[in-house]
Structure 1
Amino acid sequence: MNDRLHTSAVAATGIRNAMTIDVEDYFQVSAFAPVIARDSWDGRECRVERNVARILDILDAGEVKATFFTLGWIAERYPQVVRSIVAGGHELASHGYGHLRASSQGRAEFAADVTRSKRILEDIGSVPVQGYRAPSFSIGSANLWALDVLQEAGYRYSSSIYPIQHDHYGMPDAPRFAFYPNGPDGLLEIPITTVQLMQRKLPAGGGGYFRLLPYALSRWMMERVNQVDQQSAIFYFHPWEIDPGQPRLDAASIKSRFRHYVNLGRMEGRIAQLTRDFKWDRMDRLFLGKA
């Protein structure tokens, strides 16, 4: 299908998808935690300001509004990043404070983390923060209590479960689309997008898979979700993914380096193409009915 026919076919569905950005820097990713000490973060070159500014330009050019799941650690040090997100008409949401996996925290520690990040973001952004995404999609069958904690902290939705099999995360038996794990009075969970082929759920929502796979295949999978499932796709990426000039960490494992650095140079163009190929909006507008 050529680009013009594809765009017409997707537009015909009238379905908007959720464009989401996990605001963290290259040295904060979970895969690099074994080789980058947390107490070294403040001494490292932070590239998130320029990368978020570039993302905002791309989204503005495509007339796209998005949701930015932002670390409290970033917000404290770069408050203008938060203010520019809000000023651009995008949704401000939480990625926790210091990129600790939810699965590595106890209930009290997790509650403190998500409460702290929510307060920091709301104080700086002057807007309510309703959404949360766990670092590395680290909510699953073993810690679904985290969703109760999020609700108690004042969040209305989470996008923390990836219904796939992965060596670091995943809840393969989870539903593919938005659901209430603890009943209709609980928190809404909005999983990252997958496609169902035979008995397998395949990742179709962004990140390293999007950089690795041919663009046409990723586009086909999201198109399938819109046209066949009649559902919104949830797409995510990180500011460091459009930054091929970031420092290289030779101490990380070969697998971690491959996953992190593969096709960084192609990512910005692919994101721009996505803004043209699909309809997009903020998570809160799509799932909470916020005008």
Structure 2
Amino acid sequence: MNQINTCTLIKNAMTIDVEDYFQVSAFEKHIPRSSWDSIPCRVEHNIEKILGLLDEKQIKATFFTLGWIAERYPQMIKRMSENGHEIASHGWGHARVTDLTPSEFKEDIIRSKAVLEEISSRAVVGYRAPSFSINRKNLWALDCLAEAGYRYSSSIYPVQHDHYGMPDAPRFAYFPRGESGVLELPVTTVRLWGRNVPAGGGGYFRLWPYTVSKWFIKRLNGIESHAAIFYFHPWEIDVDQPRQQGVGFKTRFRHYLNLHRMEKRLRALIHDFQWDRVDKIFLN
């Protein structure tokens, strides 16, 4: 079977990390959590655009959602669930696992799971750590997830990055703590030049020309015969979001680069490949 035909048969996982622009880890020194309730949220409008985009090809996706957001916008969560999308947890208030004790982490994942299940009336079995903040030093978090009833995690990114990453971790689905634990589903990378290159969305999708991202996923589907796991955030399609003052050049570059191109690229992506929910692809 040639590469093109393989790409048309493999379903990839489309995932959205549901948080607002002021909740990203890069802004935490500039926007304290104590001020979040006083900042107008833009997430509802952006989610509506995303749902419309997915509907163009009847795509179902997985929404890794903050409990803080769900508690304030329950109708948005119900709409996502009623439309056939998977609701998964992104923690409660976007606290990185590296900043939490085991007891604080347990409270966080249990609280977020409970509110998401109550609103969606569906079991929540998936989790993604804010900023991919599970690494070799806190693998105990995976045990906590299993104890809390989660079945999979997408929290260990096998790349070298200044804020996260475990570059020597497996690139594809595996059980870090044995088959009785949670299944880890790393965001997609491709192996080039002796290293893992990010190929599954986020800021890299805005950085690379679309043809590069398309080539990455075609290579993964066609040559390696694996499903890709792609992710993005609602604020990445929000060109009109307020610009933060006083942030460093690197942070400003990473956050605002090519926001105006994001929606067009997403539309091309959903039309060029097959997509589905994480649980439908990896748990069935």
> Equivalent pairs: percent with the same residue?
61
The alpha carbon displacement at 1:251 in A equals: 1.7
Q: State the shift of 1:132 in Å.
A: 0.1
Give yes or no for the alignment of 1:16 onto 2:14.
no
* Structure 1 equivalent of residue 63 of structure 2: 68
In the alignment, which of 215, 224, 237 is matched to residue 220 of structure 1? 215
Match of 1:150 in 2: 145
The equivalent position to 1:26 in structure 2, one of 3, 14, 21, is 21
Number of the residue aligned with 2:126: 131
Is the Cα contact below 8 Å between 1:10 and 1:278 reproduced in 2?
A: no
Moved over 2 A (4+): 10-13
Q: Which residue identity is paired with 1:26?
A: Y
Q: Deviations over 1:186-228 (max 9, x none)?
A: 1100001000013111000000000011000011001111011
The answer for the alignment partner of 2:263 in structure 1 is: 268
- Asked if 1:105 is matched to 2:108, the reply is no
Residue 205 in structure 1 maps to residue 200 in structure 2: yes
Cα distance in 2 for partners of 1:149, 1:166 equals 25
Match of 2:80 among 85, 92, 104: 85
For 1:129, give the aligned amino acid.
V
Q: Could you tell me which residue of structure 2 aligns to residue 163 of structure 1?
A: 158
Secondary structure of the structure 2 residue equivalent to 1:202: strand
Amino acid at match of 1:240: W
1:80 deviation in Å?
A: 1.1
Letter of the 1:69 partner, please give it.
Answer: F
Aligned-residue offset at 1:46: 0.3
CA distance in 2, matches of 1:69, 1:275: 18
Contact preservation (8 Å) 1:10, 1:223: no
Distance in 2, matches of 1:271 and 1:125, equals: 26
Distance in 2 between the 1:171 and 1:81 partners? 34
Q: Secondary structure at the match of 2:137?
A: coil
Aligned-residue offset at 1:184: 1.2
CA contact (8 A) 1:62 1:272 kept: no
Q: Unpaired segments of 5 or more residues in structure 2?
A: none
Are the aligned partners of 2:113 and 2:124 in contact in 1 as well (CA < 8 Å)?
Answer: yes
Q: Structure 1: which 5+ residue stretches go unaligned?
A: 1-5
Is 1:279 aligned to residue 274 of structure 2? yes
Amino acid at match of 2:87: L
RMSD over equivalenced CA pairs, Å: 1.2
Give TM-score, length-normalised by structure 2: 0.98
Partner Cα separation in structure 1 for residue 117 and residue 61 of structure 2:
17
> Counterpart of 2:251 in structure 1: which amino acid?
S
TM-superposed deviation, 1:158: 0.2
Output the CA distance in 1 between the equivalents of 2:118 and 2:104.
21
Separation in 1, partners of 2:193, 2:7: 26
Question: Which residue number corresponds to residue 48 of structure 1?
Answer: 43
CA distance in 2, matches of 1:55, 1:256: 25
1:119 positional shift: 0.1
> How far off its partner does 1:14 sit?
1.1
* Alpha-carbon contact 2:7-2:218 (below 8 Å) kept: no
SS of corresponding position for 2:123: coil
Q: Which residue of 2 aligns with 1:172?
A: 167
Residue number in structure 1 paired with 2:179: 184
Superimposed CA distance per residue, residues 153-212 of structure 1 (whole angstroms, 9 cap, x where no aligned partner):
000000001100000000001000000001111110000100001311100000000001
Structure-2 separation of matches of 1:187 and 1:50? 33
TM-score (norm 1): 0.95
Question: How many residue pairs end up in the alignment?
Answer: 283
Query: Structure 1 88/145 Cα, relative in aligned 2: closer, same or farther at 3 Å?
Result: same
> The residue matched to 1:21 in structure 2 has which SS?
strand
Aligned twin of 1:3: none
